[in-house]
């Protein structure tokens, strides 16, 4: 691709009383433009997503009524990936020189509640208490632990690392480190996952300014090497599925990651750090292998020996991930991109991955079985 990340901006994650999700989005866009040394007048195209905090395109009232195309996107937890896909495509196709991808959200406390009809499911699926994303993740990791010998201790260690990294991130929501015993001993939510192994719906906003890569770009300019988005195929194991086919195929995470690496001509072994969807501890473990960053079953050892920590050989979720940042659904995927840009620029401060990382990967997964991945390089 010939697309660079010109600027990044964020409204801190967590709970901000009195500030709407959309206002947080405006804060993020302005910060990203400032970072890029541009103004809203310079923007040719925008794509934005929010699950529950309003129509992103109405932000032009605050940003400026310049008449540009502004596409709203909505793909559950993968929304940030779709915003980036659309914005990058606008540049690649020649429609735009400068494009903004943004996401924001503001969710009430507690687990999401869903209307079965919106997902094409029978009413009884919700009434009888099976339409909960938390159950899906628990059942998927339960089976995965059985198949690949992952321990309960690994689940706890993933959360411990997330809060450790979150403590180093001034924009994170949960910044207090927890011990393995505290994580493992917290309230059981959906067996085998406890309270602190789950992320919580929250608030926050992120914006990314994309620009066509120029000849003679600055040496530390971060390039979007590829972005790939996939939906599920027949036979994959997805959230909100009253049945699963008798045959199993790889899920959209596997497909999106493979397409992303192929398009960039980069091997997963060359990745210096990665942000993967960690809706809960088990998701991080499964997504490490599904994205190709390690072999199935190797996570147990990689986690035990500290390889996925910031100073390890394969740093994962260096900003604390969803576990420490919470999940404002529309913003979450772009948070990962924001973190990788900081890391590749060498601007990640106390949580900087050592050794001048050059290749950084992101992955999001959402209902009803969609995934988006990116590769950033310097």
Partner 1 sequence: MQAVSVVGDDLRETSDGPRLVGGRCRACGAVAFPRPASCARCTGSDVDEHLLADRGSLWTFTVQNFLPKAPYDGWAEFTPYGVGYVELDGEVLVESRLLASSAAGLRIGAAVHLVVEEYGADASGTPLTTFAFAVDGAPA
Residues that bind partner 1 (CB under 8 A): 110-111, 113, 115-116, 122-124, 126-132, 135, 138-140, 142-143, 146, 187-193, 234-235, 241-246
Nearest distance, CB of residue 352 and partner 1, angstroms: 38
**Beta carbon nearer to partner 1, 69 or 116:** 116
Query: Residues 222, 226, 230, CA angle at the centre, nearest 5°?
Result: 140
Between CA 104 and CA 114 the distance in angstroms is 19
Nearest distance, CB of residue 146 and partner 1, angstroms: 5
**Beta carbon nearer to partner 1, 13 or 240:** 240
**Beta carbon nearer to partner 1, 126 or 251:** 126
DSSP lists the bridge partners of residue 194 as: 188
**Beta carbon nearer to partner 1, 121 or 373:** 121
Nearest distance, CB of residue 238 and partner 1, angstroms: 11
**Beta carbon nearer to partner 1, 117 or 269:** 117
Q: Which two tokens stand for residue 344?
A: 């590749």
Nearest distance, CB of residue 120 and partner 1, angstroms: 10
DSSP lists the bridge partners of residue 241 as: none
149-186 burial, b at 16+ Cβ within 10 Å, e below that, comes to: ebeeebbbbbbbbbbbbbbbbebbbbbebbeeebbbeb
User: Distances in Å between the alpha carbon of 326 and those of 36, 41, 278?
Assistant: 27, 32, 10
DSSP lists the bridge partners of residue 257 as: none
Which helix (H) or strand (E) segment is 45 a member of?
strand 45-49
Nearest distance, CB of residue 363 and partner 1, angstroms: 22
Nearest distance, CB of residue 195 and partner 1, angstroms: 9
Nearest distance, CB of residue 224 and partner 1, angstroms: 33
Pairing verdict, β 3-14 and 203-212: antiparallel
**Beta carbon nearer to partner 1, 135 or 340:** 135
Contact partners, residue 235, CB within 8 Å, separation at least 6: 244, 245, 247, 248, 249
Read off the DSSP letter of residue 264: H
**Beta carbon nearer to partner 1, 20 or 241:** 241
């Amino acid at each position: 691709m010939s697309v660079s990340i010109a600027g990044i901006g964020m409204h801190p994650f967590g709970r901000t009383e009195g500030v709407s999700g959309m206002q947080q989005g405006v804060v993020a866009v302005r910060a990203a433009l400032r970072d890029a040394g541009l103004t809203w007048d310079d923007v040719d195209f925008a794509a934005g997503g929010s699950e529950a905090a309003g129509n992103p395109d109405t932000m032009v009232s605050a940003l400026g009524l310049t008449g540009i195309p502004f596409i709203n996107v909505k793909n559950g937890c993968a929304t940030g990936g779709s915003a980036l896909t659309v914005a990058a495509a606008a540049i690649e196709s020649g429609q735009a020189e400068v494009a903004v991808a943004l996401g924001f959200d503001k969710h009430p406390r507690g687990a999401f509640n869903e209307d079965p009809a919106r997902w094409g499911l029978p009413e009884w699926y919700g009434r009888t208490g099976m339409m909960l994303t938390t159950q899906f993740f628990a059942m998927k990791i339960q089976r995965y632990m059985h198949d690949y010998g992952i321990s309960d201790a690994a689940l706890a260690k993933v959360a411990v690392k997330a809060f450790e990294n979150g403590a180093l991130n001034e924009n994170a929501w949960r910044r207090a480190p927890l011990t393995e015993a505290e994580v493992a001993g917290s309230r059981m939510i959906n067996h085998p996952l406890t309270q602190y192994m789950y992320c919580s719906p929250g608030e926050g906003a992120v914006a990314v300014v994309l620009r066509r890569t120029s000849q003679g770009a600055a040496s530390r300019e971060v390039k979007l090497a590829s972005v790939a988005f996939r939906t599920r195929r027949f036979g994959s194991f997805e959230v909100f599925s009253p049945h699963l086919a008798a045959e199993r195929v790889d899920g959209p995470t596997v497909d999106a990651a493979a397409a992303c690496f192929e398009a960039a001509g980069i091997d997963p072994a060359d990745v210096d750090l990665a942000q993967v969807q960690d809706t809960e501890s088990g998701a991080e473990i499964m997504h490490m292998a599904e994205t190709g960053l390690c072999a199935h079953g190797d996570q147990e050892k990689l986690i035990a020996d500290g390889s996925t920590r910031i100073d390890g050989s394969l740093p994962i979720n260096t900003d604390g991930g969803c576990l420490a940042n919470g999940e404002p659904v529309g913003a979450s995927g772009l948070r990962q991109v924001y973190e990788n840009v900081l890391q590749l620029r060498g601007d990640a401060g106390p949580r900087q991955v050592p050794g001048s990382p050059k290749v950084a990967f992101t992955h999001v997964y959402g209902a009803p079985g969609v995934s988006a991945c990116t590769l950033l390089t310097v």
